[in-house]
Structure 1
Amino acid sequence: MREELIVPKCHYPWPTVNSPIANAFDDEEKDWYDSDYTFISEEGIKRCKPQFLSRVATYMNPTCDSIERMRPCARLMIYITLFDDFFGLTPRNELKIMADRVYEIMMGDEPSPGEIGILRQMAQARKEWIVNGMPRFWIERVSKNFYEFIMYGMAEEIPFKQAEKRTYPLLPHYLSFRKYSIGMWPYGDLIDPCVNFALPVHIYNHPVVQRCRELLSLIIVIQNDFASLKKELEIEAECLNIIFILSHQYNLSYQDACTEAMKLHDAYANELDELHRSLPDFGPFQKEAYNHIYHIKLQISGCANWYYNSGTNRYEPKGFIVPKYGREGDEIFIPHSIFVKK
C-alpha cells in the first residue's frame, strides 16, 4: 500500500498582498491564445485557458492597479511559460536559433507574417512597455534575461530530459541552471513597469540587489517544485525536481526530502528578508532600491498565492500542452489521496 505523502505549503515572513486587478485579463488572454498561439494544438489551447496564466502577473505584482502597465507583463507571463512548455524538448541547436530570434524581436525587430505567433506577443509587449515610458536600458535588460532563461536554463535541462534513463543532477548543478529555467530573472524585471520606475543600471548591478534577484529565483524554484510534485511523481522519467534530487543524492524518503527542501526554502527567504532590512547606501535611490526588494518579496508570496488560491488547473493531470518533439497520450493519473497539504 502506498504511503501517504504530505506536501508542505510555503509561508513567508512578510505579508501577501492581493491585487486589485487580479482577474483583469481573463478574457483578453483567451483572445491572445486564439490569435497568436495557433502553433499549439486545439487540445493544447483548451488546456491553457483554465490555467489563468495572466493572473501570475497580477498576483506577483499586486501593488499595480494600472491595466495599461500590467498588460504587457501579463503577455510576458504567458509567452515565457508557453515557450518553456512548447520548446522544452527542442534540441539545443534549434533552441539557440529561437533564442537569437526572441532577442531580436524583444530588442526591436518585427516578426514576419509567417513566423510563429508567440513572437507577435513579444513584439506587442515591447511596444506597450515603450509607450508606458520604459527606457531602452530596461528593454535591453529584460531581453538579455529572457535570452539567458532559454540558453542558461532551458538548454541546460535538455540532456536530462532527453536521457534514455532517469539521470539526476547534483543539487548545486540543478540550482545553477534551474534558477534560470524557472524564468524569474525576466519575471523580476516586471517589477519596474509595474511600479513605474526603472531601477538604474548601477543599482540593478549591485551585488546585494543581484543576490536578492537570485534568491527570488531560488525560492520560486523550490516553491514550483512543491507545486508540480503532484504531477511529476507519476512521470517515470522525471528527474528535475528538488525533491527527487535530494532523495536520490542523500538517500532520503520523499517525505524527508520535502522537509529538507523546505529548510532550504526558508533559509533563502530569511536571507532575503535580512538583506532587505540591511541594504547598503544607495544614495538618492535608497527609497527606490528598498521598494524594489520589497516587490521581490511580494512576487514570491504572490506566486504562492497564485498556486494556492487563483483557481489554476496547471498542475492537474492533462494540465500541460504537448511539447514540440513530445508525444500525445502521456497523461497521467494521480491518486488524490496521496497529496494532502498541511
Structure 2
Amino acid sequence: MREELILPQCRYPWVTINSPIANSFDDEEKVWYDNDYTFISEEGIKRCKPQFLSRVATYMNPTCDSMERMRPCARLMIYITIFDDFFGMTPAKELETIANRVYEVMMGEDPREDEIGILRQMAQARKEWETFMPRFWIDRVAINFYEFIMYGMMEEIPFKQAEKRTYPLLAHYFSFRKYSIGMWPYGDLIDPAVNFALPVHIYNHPVIQRCRELLSLVIVIQNDFASLIKELEIENESLNIIFILRNQYKLSYQEACTEAMRLHDEYCQELDDLHQSLPDFGEFQEAAYNHVYHIKLQISGCANWYYNSGTKRYESKAFIVPKYAREGDDIVIPHSIFVKEQDL
C-alpha cells in the first residue's frame, strides 16, 4: 500500500527579490560546459545544461545588476555543484589530493593544459575577481572552498560508500553537511554582488559567523526537501534530514517532514532576530547589516530558484553519473511523490 507524502514548501518572513539579470548567463553557461566540462561526457553535459546552474548565482544575489561582477559568481555556482556531483564518490585520499590542487589554483596557480577543465573555470573566476576584489577576500573564498571539500564532502564518504545504509545522528549530520552544502563559499559571493568586501575583523565576529552558519543550516534543510523525491529512489541514500530524523526518532516520513520544517523555521527566526540586534560595528554597521540582509536574500533567492527558475535539476535523469559510481548506478527521479514506506 502506498502512502501519500505531502512535502511542505519553504517560506520566509522576509522578502524575495527577483534579479534583473536572472537568466543572463544561459548562453555563456552552455559554452563553459562545452569547453571545460567534457570530462563528464557528452551525455553528462546534456543533463547539466537544463539545470540552469548559473541562475543560482543571480537568484541568490538578486540586487546585483552587474554582469561583470556576477560572471565569476556564476562560474563558481556551476563548478562547485559539478565538483560535488562528479567527485562525491571519490576515495578520501584521492579527494584530498584534488582539494589541495583546487586550493593552489584558487590561490593563484594556473592549471596545466592536461588537467581537468573544471580547474580552468576556477582559475578564470579567480582572475575575474582579481580585477575588482581585494586579495584577502579571494583568500577567504579559497579557504572556504577547501573546507567545503575537506570538512564536508570528505566526511560524507563513509556514508556514501557504505555497503549497507548507515545514518549519522542529526548533530553529526549538521556538523559536516553545513560544509558540504557549499554555503560558506556561496555566502562569500555576497561581497562581489554588493561590490564591498566585508573586512576580516567584521567577517570573523561570532555574530556574523553565526549568521553565515544559519545560512548553511537553512539551505541544508531547504535542499533536503527539494531533493527528497529523488533520494527516496536511491537504495543506500541516508544523507537527508528526513531520513535521519525518521531513523533517529522513529518517525513517519510525514512526521519527519514536520520536524525538519520546525527546525528550518527556528533557524530562520534566529537569523531574523540576529539581523535586528547586531552588535556595534562602528563605521561598518551599515555594511554588516547589509551583509546579513543579503544572507537572508540568498536563502529566499535559493528557494525562488528551486520553485520558479525553470531548473530541471531534480527531474528524471537530470544528474550526471559520478566518478567511482558503482556499476550500473544512475540517479533517477520518480514522476510522483507517492512513496512506499521503507524499512529502517
Between the aligned partners of 1:337 and 1:178, the Cα distance in structure 2 is 24
1:68-107 superposed matches below 5 A:
68-107=68-107
Between the aligned partners of 1:312 and 1:331, the Cα distance in structure 2 is 17
Counterparts in 2 of 1:273 and 1:337: CA distance versus 1, 3 Å = closer
Match in the other structure for 1:50: 50
The answer to whether the 8 Å contact 2:224/2:240 transfers is: yes
The answer to whether the 8 Å contact 2:170/2:244 transfers is: yes
Match in the other structure for 1:231: 230
Aligned-pair identity in percent equals 80
The answer to whether the 8 Å contact 2:59/2:301 transfers is: yes
Between the aligned partners of 1:333 and 1:148, the Cα distance in structure 2 is 30
Match in the other structure for 2:307: 308
User: What SS is found at the alignment partner of 1:332?
Assistant: coil
Between the aligned partners of 2:24 and 2:15, the Cα distance in structure 1 is 22
- Give 1:37 shift: 0.4
**What letter matches 1:170 in structure 2?**
L
The answer to whether the 8 Å contact 2:72/2:129 transfers is: yes
Q: Do residues 299 (structure 1) and 298 (structure 2) align?
A: yes
- Deviation sequence 1:184-225 (CA, Å, 0-9, x none): 000000000000000000000000000000000000000000
Match in the other structure for 2:182: 183
**What letter matches 1:293 in structure 2?**
V
The answer to whether the 8 Å contact 2:246/2:256 transfers is: yes
Question: Greater shift after overlay, 327-336 or 37-46?
Answer: 327-336
Between the aligned partners of 1:161 and 1:53, the Cα distance in structure 2 is 24
**What letter matches 2:113 in structure 1?**
P
Match in the other structure for 1:168: 167
The answer to whether the 8 Å contact 1:142/1:186 transfers is: yes
Please, which runs of 5 or more residues in structure 2 have no aligned partner? 340-344
Between the aligned partners of 1:10 and 1:160, the Cα distance in structure 2 is 27
1:190-269 superposed matches below 5 A:
190-269=189-268
- Give 1:334 shift: 1.5
User: What SS is found at the alignment partner of 1:41?
Assistant: helix
- Give 1:328 shift: 4.6
1:75-154 superposed matches below 5 A:
75-131=75-131, 133-154=132-153
Between the aligned partners of 1:85 and 1:333, the Cα distance in structure 2 is 15
Between the aligned partners of 1:15 and 1:36, the Cα distance in structure 2 is 36
**What letter matches 1:330 in structure 2?**
D
- Deviation sequence 1:249-302 (CA, Å, 0-9, x none): 000000000000000000000000000000000000000000000000000000
- Deviation sequence 1:23-74 (CA, Å, 0-9, x none): 0000000000000001011111100000000000000000000000000000
**What letter matches 1:101 in structure 2?**
R
The answer to whether the 8 Å contact 1:156/1:177 transfers is: yes
Q: Do residues 36 (structure 1) and 36 (structure 2) align?
A: yes
The answer to whether the 8 Å contact 2:4/2:338 transfers is: yes
Q: Provide the aligned C-alpha RMSD in A.
A: 0.9
- Give 1:333 shift: 5.4
Between the aligned partners of 2:39 and 2:30, the Cα distance in structure 1 is 15
Match in the other structure for 2:20: 20
- Give 1:330 shift: 2.6
**What letter matches 2:232 in structure 1?**
L
Between the aligned partners of 1:4 and 1:311, the Cα distance in structure 2 is 25
Runs of 4+ in 1 over 2 A off after TM superposition: 327-333
When the two structures are superposed, what TM-score results if normalisation uses the length of structure 2? 0.97
When the two structures are superposed, what TM-score results if normalisation uses the length of structure 1? 0.98
1:318-333 superposed matches below 5 A:
318-326=317-325, 327-328=327-328, 330-332=330-332
Please, which runs of 5 or more residues in structure 1 have no aligned partner? none
The answer to whether the 8 Å contact 1:322/1:328 transfers is: no
Between the aligned partners of 2:93 and 2:334, the Cα distance in structure 1 is 35
User: What SS is found at the alignment partner of 2:6?
Assistant: strand
User: What SS is found at the alignment partner of 1:6?
Assistant: coil
